[in-house]
Structure 1
Amino acid sequence: MGELLPVTTLEGGASFYAYVARPAGKPRAAIIVIQEIFGVNEGIRRKCDSLAASGYLAFAPDLFWRIEPHIELDPDVPDQLQKGFDLFGKFDQDAGIRDIEAAIKTARAALGPDGKVGCVGYCLGGRLAFMAACRTDGDAFVGYYGVGIDGLLGEQHAIGKPVLLHVPTADHFVSPEAQKAMHQGLGGNRHVTIHDYEGLDHGFATEMGDRRDDAGAALADGRSATFFAEHL
């Protein structure tokens, strides 16, 4: 069971909350869990709790705090799904990356000077995880079904740490053309690994709800666990 703790913005003078789950003993590293468009809901908190059970200090920052703090939405409820899309349209992604960087800074301070911090994100968070790999000093980055990464390929020259991307081939938010552009554009980047999930759709690794595919989630989450164990 985690708790809400404040994170100070990089600019100072303001703070936002993150859900924080702690391991039973000394953390092996920290991982920033980056939300979908549905806020830090029960599914994201479960991701944090699972990482804590595996020995990590897990932070899930409330990235929508500038619009409306403490958002929790259920994507299986049509009105709440639409609200998520509306929030996404209002969200300042550059400010969100700065908030992720603030969370990385806070997590690293909690670990000590030699502590490593990774990021894992889902949907919007998958896109932000890729952006964070280009723009922050995190140590390893995982993105699940990130949207619009094909439009960010021009930033990849700034990637200096390992990146793992999970791409479901039947993602109705990421076209086959976009997926092809990702493979072609990132194929020569030695820091980036892409795994495809044939026939799976967006949200397949969610903790609960109609979108989840148990076998696909287990495969992707196992690969993520191995990746973080190697790089953090």
Structure 2
Amino acid sequence: MVHTRYESITTPDGAFDAFCAVPEAPNAPAVLVFQEVFGINDNIRGLAGRLAEAGFLALAPDVFWRIEPRFERKDESGLADGFAMVQQLDFDLAAADITATMAHALAMPGCNGRVGGVGFCLGGTLAYLFATTARVDGRGPDAVVSYYGSGVHGLLDSADRVECPVLFHYGANDPYIPAEQIDEVERALADRPDVTLHRYDAGHAFSNWDAPSLYDETAARTAWDRTVRFLDERLRPV
């Protein structure tokens, strides 16, 4: 049975909440779950729960906590509010918060010492930031999955700092991420055999079942199966 709660993550300038879903089995790999612009809502909590059902210790940090703690919107009706939050987000501070979350996850009694990340929309960009910036005692994450991160192409000057396997998911019909930007990401990491990029016949946020006009069940199922398999192969001891 999956148990859920909130963890308090400490930083030098305060503490913030992270939603936590704990699997039944002990000694699980940790997976940080990075939110969309809608905050830690039912969709993100549900995804964390699904990861816990798959045997991962899931931890979703509230990256908007400095602006509005526990900010949450449900679907397309909250897009304007979500975009307004992103405009105020300090990505350097968010990167520091992500590192603090990684350190917290590694220190949790139920963690097996390995940690990955998966992010959606805004969180897809934060997942890439996780791969390039988060280091705890000299080590970074062990695997990262990025779903349709619209800011990734603007951060490719740090591609050489990616030290772990990365899986990218993009919608080929995404109105927010032109094909040229996806091409840029693919080219920047083309020489990395541990980096895989998939494109789906879908639009933006195709994984979000709480946003009916965006959700694409076929693409979501295929991407999720690939995500769980990718994390399984890289986060569980042989």
Fold shared per TM-score above 0.5: yes
Gaps of 5+ in 2: 135-139
Q: Of 152, 162, 171, which residue of structure 2 is paired with 1:168?
A: 171
Runs of 4+ in 1 over 4 A off after TM superposition: 111-114
Superposed, which structure 2 residues align to 1:51-62 within 5 Å?
51-62=51-62
Residue number in structure 1 paired with 2:122 = 124
Question: Is the partner of 1:184 in helix, strand or coil?
Answer: helix
Give the C-alpha shift of residue 109 in structure 1: 0.5
Give the C-alpha shift of residue 20 in structure 1: 0.5
Residue 181 in structure 1 maps to residue 179 in structure 2: no
Residue number in structure 1 paired with 2:151 = 148
Q: Is the 8 A contact 2:128 2:144 kept in 1?
A: yes
Report the Cα distance in structure 1 between the residues aligned to 2:229 and 2:196, rounded to whole angstroms: 13
Report the Cα distance in structure 2 between the residues aligned to 1:114 and 1:28, rounded to whole angstroms: 5
Report the Cα distance in structure 2 between the residues aligned to 1:224 and 1:16, rounded to whole angstroms: 27
Q: Is the 8 A contact 1:31 1:58 kept in 2?
A: yes
Question: Is the partner of 1:87 in helix, strand or coil?
Answer: helix
Residue number in structure 1 paired with 2:108 = 110
Give the C-alpha shift of residue 185 in structure 1: 1.8
Q: Deviations over 1:155-195 (max 9, x none)?
A: 01111111110011111110121112122222122332111
Residue 193 in structure 1 maps to residue 196 in structure 2: yes
Q: Is the 8 A contact 1:36 1:124 kept in 2?
A: yes
Report the Cα distance in structure 1 between the residues aligned to 2:111 and 2:146, rounded to whole angstroms: 26
Q: Is the 8 A contact 2:29 2:111 kept in 1?
A: no
Residue number in structure 1 paired with 2:75 = 75
Q: Is the 8 A contact 1:160 1:191 kept in 2?
A: no
Give the C-alpha shift of residue 69 in structure 1: 0.3
Q: Deviations over 1:22-66 (max 9, x none)?
A: 011214201000001111011000011111111111101110000
Question: Is the partner of 1:2 in helix, strand or coil?
Answer: strand
Report the Cα distance in structure 2 between the residues aligned to 1:27 and 1:171, rounded to whole angstroms: 38
In structure 2, relative to structure 1, the CA distance for the partners of 1:67 and 1:32 (3 Å cut) is same
Report the Cα distance in structure 1 between the residues aligned to 2:184 and 2:21, rounded to whole angstroms: 36
62-71 or 203-212, which moves further after superposition?
203-212
Report the Cα distance in structure 1 between the residues aligned to 2:106 and 2:151, rounded to whole angstroms: 29
Report the Cα distance in structure 1 between the residues aligned to 2:154 and 2:7, rounded to whole angstroms: 34
Residue 225 in structure 1 maps to residue 228 in structure 2: yes
2:52 alignment partner AA:
A
Residue 40 in structure 1 maps to residue 21 in structure 2: no
Q: Deviations over 1:188-218 (max 9, x none)?
A: 2233211111x31010011322111111111
Report the Cα distance in structure 1 between the residues aligned to 2:111 and 2:117, rounded to whole angstroms: 18
Q: Is the 8 A contact 1:183 1:194 kept in 2?
A: yes
Question: Is the partner of 1:115 in helix, strand or coil?
Answer: strand
Normalising to structure 2: TM-score of the pair?
0.91
2:8 alignment partner AA:
P
Q: Is the 8 A contact 2:116 2:141 kept in 1?
A: yes
Q: Deviations over 1:6-29 (max 9, x none)?
A: 0111xx351100001101121420
Report the Cα distance in structure 2 between the residues aligned to 1:143 and 1:87, rounded to whole angstroms: 20
Q: Percent identity?
A: 37
Report the Cα distance in structure 1 between the residues aligned to 2:50 and 2:38, rounded to whole angstroms: 19
Give the C-alpha shift of residue 114 in structure 1: 5.2
33-42 or 203-212, which moves further after superposition?
203-212
